[in-house]
Chains A and B, each alone.
Chain A
Amino acid sequence: MLALLAAVVAQSWAATALDHPAVQTWATIFVSITVQALPFLALGVTVSGAIAAFVPSSLIARLLPDRPLVAVPAAGVAGAVFPGCECGSVPVAGRLTANGAAPAAAFAFMLAAPAINPVVLVATAVAFPGRPDMVVARLLASFATAVAVGFLWARFGRREWLLQRRPHPVAAGSTRWEVFAGTARHDFLHAGGWLVVGSLAAATLQVVVPRSIMTSISETEWLAVVVLATLAVVLAICSEADAFVAASLSQFSLTARLVFLVVGPVVDIKLIALHAGIFGRSFAIRFAPLTFVTAVVSALGVGWWLL
């Protein structure tokens, strides 16, 4: 109520500042990243609520066991059928680890889902007409990234880097519907809050760093790869739309653009905020560089092989 009152009062004297085109552009981009993510987040928390309410922890532990050689690739493949973009898969992975899944497997699912589901692959095929090899390369490089990060986490990761969460954010003794609604509500507010933090950062970077400055650097191949990998982190575009932006960046080589498509869905500004919120800060500062390097290496490998 107070905030609302303050907003109405502030509007009169701040109107001039808020009409500045940079502020307007920032606000449009910030609101659109948030709004476009809402349905995917809702889908994600519906799944996470259903996991908490209807899937017993013992079954999760059996399906995603602590045997990474089996569980990690299986979880990666399972990601292919989750038709969302990256904001939806993070709360699902958070719920899976809280309820007994091996973290390495949950991460493989979380990284694979936004990159290799059918919606994203079709979008990539539409954005690159006549280049089916681009779709295949994206599928392979993204899957390899998800599985490699899963294995690396299984080998070197430590439980204490992860924020410990209660398996059920609702009181004991509730009905299944109460558990479902309570978990979905909690996870939506939790992940949604961190999503806003990420969109704030992404919108600010989009306005402060003009795309034309970054995309004018395309002469040297290694520099182009660095630029497009960074751009993927900075722009924080939904994985269902990034192929169209990549297609327009034709001054860059196909391999450099593949790097853009493989890095974006696994690590960007808003994902780092979401990871920090849901899995903890000491997780995020290790996970972000790990996925970034793995994604770049695997995209370069697949790119040089296929493209």
Chain B
Amino acid sequence: MRALDERAQGILLLAIAAVSIRLGLTDAALAFVKPGLQPALLGTGIGLAVLGAHGLRRAYRRPPEADVAHPGAHHDHAPGVAWMLAIPLLTLLLVAPAPLGSFAAARQGSTPPAMSPAGFAELPEPRDGAVDLSLRDYVGRALFDPATSLDGVRVRLIGFVTPPEDDADGSYLLTRFAVNCCAADALAFTVEVLGDEARPTETWLEIEGRWQPRDGHEPGTASAEPPLLIADRITPIDQPGEPYEY
């Protein structure tokens, strides 16, 4: 790959800076990283814009005779591998990546991630008769809370539909990813929804319902299967602005 002269470096840096600033300011970033990283992306974008503008200014301000007198003397080339930085920009343009969905969830399997069987805070106050819980919190309490704090509580969960691994009974899975830093470390949290007819995969739902323990599962221990949710009010919704739990 050809090395980049100062003008190409400046243009590439300005393009990266523009994307970085946009990700720092808009919800578009939330398909990739946690919101806490957005101020850092904004700052990075501004810094890169300054570097890029500085490089461009140097490229255009240099008197042409200097090049003739000392060919190559003032050229600050960057290695050709820098062109690779255009690939994520093109990917954003071409593929317009969506937040991780059911394909990525299926890659992780529906076995719940392990959590610590301690440290469960008081449930929040109910809103309109149901407690808003993240799927991560619901799965944690349903499987690992020895005090079974979900017993008899009406909850409201948000997630998207993923197909069950064996579609014997008409149930489906409700899934949401939890992200700690970026989508590469996303963990899928899944519940099995009972009491509803089949739904198309990837549909976002808000479900009110109750926890039902699985036969033979001892609260506070790991389980090979996702916890159950008996649904009694299901509302299809748009994909939330924050597609992951953070």
List residues of A whose CB falls within 8 A of some B CB: 3-4, 7, 10-11, 14, 18, 21-25, 27-36, 38-39, 42, 46, 123, 128-130, 169-171, 181-182, 184-186, 188-190, 192-194, 196-197, 199-200, 202-203, 206-207, 210-212, 235-238, 240-242, 244-245, 247-251, 277
Other-chain contact of A193, B33, B51, B84, B222 (Cβ < 8 Å): B84
13 contacts between A and B (CB under 8 A): A25-B107, A28-B97, A32-B184, A38-B16, A38-B44, A130-B118, A185-B51, A189-B4, A189-B9, A192-B84, A193-B83, A247-B116, A248-B113
Contact A182 B76 (CB under 8 A): yes
Cβ–Cβ < 8 Å partners of A129 in chain B: 116, 118-119
Cβ–Cβ < 8 Å partners of A212 in chain B: 107-109, 111
Q: Does B25 have its Cβ within 8 Å of any Cβ on chain A?
A: no
Cβ–Cβ < 8 Å partners of A277 in chain B: 79, 81
Contact A241 B181 (CB under 8 A): yes
Contact B222 A28 (CB under 8 A): no
What is the CA–CA distance of A7 and B96 in the complex, to the nearest angstrom? 12
Find the A residue at minimum CB distance from B19: A35
Q: Does B98 have its Cβ within 8 Å of any Cβ on chain A?
A: yes
Cβ–Cβ < 8 Å partners of B29 in chain A: 35
Cβ–Cβ < 8 Å partners of B111 in chain A: 212
Contact A185 B95 (CB under 8 A): no
Residues 26-59 of B contacting A (Cβ, < 8 Å) = 29, 31-33, 37, 40-41, 43-44, 47-48, 51-52, 54-55
Q: Which 5 A-B pairs give the minimum distances between C-beta atoms?
A: A250-B114, A241-B181, A21-B103, A248-B113, A193-B81
Q: Does B121 have its Cβ within 8 Å of any Cβ on chain A?
A: no
Find the A residue at minimum CB distance from B13: A185
Counting chain B residues whose Cβ lies within 8 A of the other chain, the interface size class is: 35 or more
Q: Does B217 have its Cβ within 8 Å of any Cβ on chain A?
A: no
Find the B residue at minimum CB distance from A177: B54
Other-chain contact of B81, A190, A206, A207, A249 (Cβ < 8 Å): A190
Contact A251 B114 (CB under 8 A): yes
Question: Closest Cβ of chain B: how far from A153's Cβ, in Å?
Answer: 24
Contact B4 A10 (CB under 8 A): no
Contact B185 A30 (CB under 8 A): no
Cβ–Cβ < 8 Å partners of B78 in chain A: 185-186, 189-190
Q: Does B234 have its Cβ within 8 Å of any Cβ on chain A?
A: no
Other-chain contact of A237, B98, B109, B184 (Cβ < 8 Å): B184
Question: Closest Cβ of chain B: how far from A211's Cβ, in Å?
Answer: 5
What is the CA–CA distance of A277 and B1 in the complex, to the nearest angstrom? 14
Other-chain contact of A35, B54, B79, B88 (Cβ < 8 Å): B88
Cβ–Cβ < 8 Å partners of B198 in chain A: none
What is the CA–CA distance of A184 and B97 in the complex, to the nearest angstrom? 30
Q: A10-B94, A130-B118, A189-B78 are in contact. Are A36 and B103 (CB under 8 A)?
A: no
Contact B101 A32 (CB under 8 A): no
Cβ–Cβ < 8 Å partners of A123 in chain B: 180
What is the CA–CA distance of A280 and B220 in the complex, to the nearest angstrom? 51
Q: A18-B95, A25-B100, A185-B9 are in contact. Are A36 and B181 (CB under 8 A)?
A: yes
Question: Closest Cβ of chain A: how far from B219's Cβ, in Å?
Answer: 16
Q: A170-B76, A186-B78, A211-B107 are in contact. List 16 more A-B contacts (CB 8 A).
A: A18-B95, A25-B103, A25-B104, A28-B99, A28-B183, A31-B97, A35-B23, A35-B29, A38-B44, A188-B51, A190-B78, A193-B84, A210-B107, A237-B184, A242-B185, A247-B114
Q: Does B187 have its Cβ within 8 Å of any Cβ on chain A?
A: yes
What is the CA–CA distance of A25 and B186 in the complex, to the nearest angstrom? 12
Q: Does B68 have its Cβ within 8 Å of any Cβ on chain A?
A: no
Q: Mark B113-134, 1 if CB is under 8 A from A, else 0.
A: 1111011000000000000000
Question: Closest Cβ of chain A: how far from B209's Cβ, in Å?
Answer: 25
Contact B33 A24 (CB under 8 A): no
Cβ–Cβ < 8 Å partners of B235 in chain A: none
Cβ–Cβ < 8 Å partners of B118 in chain A: 129-130
Cβ–Cβ < 8 Å partners of A10 in chain B: 94
Cβ–Cβ < 8 Å partners of A189 in chain B: 4, 9, 12-13, 78-79, 82, 85
Q: Does B90 have its Cβ within 8 Å of any Cβ on chain A?
A: yes
Contact A21 B90 (CB under 8 A): no
